[in-house]
Amino acid sequence: MSVVLGSGEYRYRVVENWAKLPDGWNLTDVAAVAVDSKDRVYVFNRGEHPMVVLNRDGSFVRSWGEGLFRRAHGLHIDSDDNLYCTDDGDHTVRKCTPEGKVLLTIGIPDKPAPFMSNEPFNRCTHTALSPRGDIYVSDGYGNACVHKFTPEGKLIKTWGEPGTDPGQFNLVHNIVTDVDGWVYVADRENHRVQVFDGNGKYETQWNNLHRPCALCCCGGKKPNFIIGELGSGMPVNRAYKNIGPRLTIVDSQGRKVGRLGGEEGPGLETGKFLAPHGLALDSKGDIYLGEVGVTNWKTSFPDTPMPQIVRCLQKLERVI
């Protein structure tokens, strides 16, 4: 019997054994996922084959990026199916075709900006586009800011600094935009999502979240958003219930309308999550979730040996 998560109009069925990879292949730490106009799913992971492309039914299409990426972190896809691949290991954002040809590189590979300098980049985390094609980059682990670039990669402006006040960040981890040009930033260790206009003016924030890590804007006017929350990050609250890892669905005002999982903490069992890190939707409203369970294993299970293969990609099929 299949496992269904959520309630009301926000119910999703867990699709078991969805991804069908070539013999001997495994995914490791799926940091991000994206879906193109043909419902092909791009799986950006930290294994031997960094970009694995699958059809909607999970069948294998191709892979690319071998020898190119240092450490997969963020992935965004534009209306022309070009992919913006954020690599926090070599401090770059690369714009690539669906087949993997690099069209643009922002940042200098393997040359990070000075720590907390607000200069691009020091372990950048994710990328989003404005309606006119300007590029926003969340930056990241070694900075506490958002950069805005022209479509050609010229820096326009930067905003943010370390801290807890509005417009300040404590690990700016993910970023999305909506059709009106608003910018939504997962301020992970401040346990909030901050909302800005397209020029970085602070507007509001969404609270009552626990370590928001993944963000997905569901599209259209007044969209819903899906937020992947990591759950406990410290021994002091490792055994707490109701803090994730989980997926929370909010409306355009940040009000919770649905929630999937998270009551009993992390797990490998069907219907549980390990470390939600990347989210995408297809044309049917199904959710693709990337998790970084290998990276997060010792945080979640310090006394349990890690299995040889840790689940890192799930498909949640919307129940109509």
- Nearby residues of 147 by Cβ (< 8 Å), 6 or more positions away: 120, 121, 136, 137, 139, 155, 157, 158
CA distances in angstroms from 62 to 16, 27, 49, 99, 205, listed in the order given: 22, 14, 10, 8, 40
Q: Provide the token pair at 185.
A: 């930033």
pLDDT at 311: 95
Compute the distance between CA of residue 122 and CA of residue 183 in angstroms, rounded to an integer.
21
DSSP annotation string for 37-59? TT--EEEEESSSSSEEEE-TTSB
Compute the distance between CA of residue 136 and CA of residue 176 in angstroms, rounded to an integer.
8
Domain hosting residue 150, numbered range: 4-318
Q: Provide the token pair at 279.
A: 């989210």
CA dihedral (299, 304, 309, 314) in degrees, to 10, reads -50
| Encoded amino acid at 5, one letter | L
Helix (H) or strand (E) holding 298: helix 293-300
Which residues of the chain are modeled with pLDDT < 70?
1
pLDDT at 287: 98
Question: CB-side exposure of 51: number of CA atoms within 13 Å?
Answer: 28
CATH code, 22: 2.120.10.30
Task: Determine if residue 319 is left, alpha or beta; phi over 0 gives left, psi from -120 to 50 gives alpha, anything else beta.
Answer: beta
Tell me how many domains the chain contains: 1
pLDDT at 1: 66
Query: Would you call 102 helix, strand, or coil by DSSP?
Result: strand
Which own/partner pairs from 55-63 qualify as long-range (CB within 8 Å, at least 24 positions apart)? 56/282, 58/18, 58/19, 58/20, 58/315, 59/20, 60/20, 60/21, 60/22, 62/99
CA-closest candidate to residue 200, choices 154, 275, 137, 244: 137
pLDDT at 50: 98
Question: CB-side exposure of 123: number of CA atoms within 13 Å?
Answer: 10
CB atoms within 10 A of CB 198: 16
Compute the distance between CA of residue 309 and CA of residue 305 in angstroms, rounded to an integer.
12
Compute the distance between CA of residue 183 and CA of residue 201 in angstroms, rounded to an integer.
10
pLDDT at 154: 98
pLDDT at 23: 96
